[in-house]
Amino acid sequence: MTLINSKIHFILLAGGDSLRFSSNTNKLLAKFKNKNLLTHNIDFLKELKFKKITVVINTINKDNISNFDDLEIIKGGKTRSESVKNALNKSKFKSKYVLIHDAARPLNSQKIINNIIKNLIEKQYDCVVPFSKCSDTVVVNHENLDREKLKLIKTPQGFVKNKIIYLHKRNIKNKLTDDSQLFRIEKNKYKIKYLLQNEINLKITYKDELNSLNKLIRNNFLAGIGYDIHKTKKTIKNSFIKLGGVKIKSKIKVISHSDGDVVLHAITDSILGALSQRDIGTYFPNTKRNLNRNSIDFLNYSLKKMTLRKMLINNIDIMIVSEEPKINPHFEIITSNLSKLLKTDKKNITIKATTNEKSGLIGSGHFIACWSNVSLKVN
Ligand code: ZN
């Protein structure tokens, strides 16, 4: 769908005034996971390769939005309907279809977006609306309503663009809480598709809702520790040692069955630990097959298990203990390489190094060791 997504206009509504959120700041600037709700939405759409994204804002400062080439910012109106109207009429993006979404819904779903686009393009609906069923009892004036008949309407909603522009132009009420309402007023004239969505698609209205959501996510962290040590021997000739997948000139050689990269071995063990797996030696014993083996293979094995669990690196803290080589000059290159291997930003990686103050077997230069402490978060 990503090629098609580049041709569809996506309007993200961020013009609300957050009156019920009970906070001084706009709710869309409140933290969800590690970014604010608005950025969370924009990054998600960028990942899906939408190339025509319009964000409608009122009180939010433009500086709070990570701007990029394909992002258009339009000033909203006094009401939600006015904001949509402004975006539809003032946008420079041309397209046959448009999707409109409330930025207060952070759990946007690729599955539902693909389904909406499919129904617009292949099945030629004019208006496609996701909904969920109501599982709570609904009471009005002490009377129970028949909940089986209820549809709880969500966004994003998809439309044939010239039709929604036409209907919004004619709308004088300006009190719409969603856009599909315009099509329902003339339901015999337009093809409307309701899509049942069972995934959670919460609209954040109250601060407690966001707190509960963040609490659920916070509980989904895992932590693991890894330690590795290898014997070393001094070399007369210039030799090299591998640390974090980087070859470094050194006066010592590591004695090991594999390539002896203590950093990658410790990291691999810490990730396996966080995932409640056994240690590196269990999966990669000292067999012929693993002789002189590149430690990136071990690391990738643990990363594959991490991806299958839908986790990613939150942060990693590494401590190398050795007398030789000096680690300081190589921090930058090791960090960059680990950032690539672990598919995480450099700011999530800390590498520290210490000597053993000439004491013990490490201090006398006979061993090199490494500790790794990792935390993983839900992707
Ligand atoms: Zn090792």
Residue ranges per domain, the chain? 2-217, 221-378
Assess whether pLDDT exceeds 80 at residue 379.
no
Cα-based torsion angle of the residue sequence 29, 31, 32, 35 in order, rounded to the nearest 10 degrees: 80
Same fold, 2-217 and 221-378: no
pLDDT of residue 238: 79
pLDDT of residue 204: 87
Question: Whose structure tokens read 């598919």?
Answer: 343
Residue 83: strand, helix, or coil: helix
Q: Which residues contact 195 (CB under 8 A, 6 or more apart)?
A: 112, 115, 116, 119, 128, 129, 130, 131
Band of pLDDT at residue 307, cut at 50, 70 and 90: confident
Distance of CA 280 from the midpoint of ligand 1 (Å): 9
By residue count, the chain amounts to 379
Distance of CA 265 from the midpoint of ligand 1 (Å): 5
Q: Give pTM, 2 decimals.
A: 0.63
Distance of CA 269 from the midpoint of ligand 1 (Å): 10
Q: For CA atoms 121, 123, 129, 135, give the dihedral sign.
A: negative
Of the options 3.40.50.720, 3.40.50.300, 3.40.1410.10, 3.30.1330.50, the CATH number for the domain spanning 221-378? 3.30.1330.50
Distance of CA 345 from the midpoint of ligand 1 (Å): 25
Give dist(CA 326, CA 206) in Å, integer: 53
Distance of CA 211 from the midpoint of ligand 1 (Å): 42
Which CATH code fits 2-217? 3.90.550.10
Q: Quick check: 100 and 13 in contact, CB under 8 A?
A: yes
Distance of CA 373 from the midpoint of ligand 1 (Å): 16
Q: Ligand 1 is a single-atom ion; what residues have CB below 5 A from it?
A: 228, 265
pLDDT in tens, 36-83: 888 888 988 988 889 899 999 988 777 777 767 778 999 998 889 999
Distance of CA 233 from the midpoint of ligand 1 (Å): 15
What is the secondary structure of 205-247 as a DSSP string? -SHHHHHHHHHHHHTTEEEEEEEEEEEEEEEEEEEEEEETTEE
Give dist(CA 311, CA 301) in Å, integer: 14
Residue 246, strand partner residues: 243
Distance of CA 228 from the midpoint of ligand 1 (Å): 5
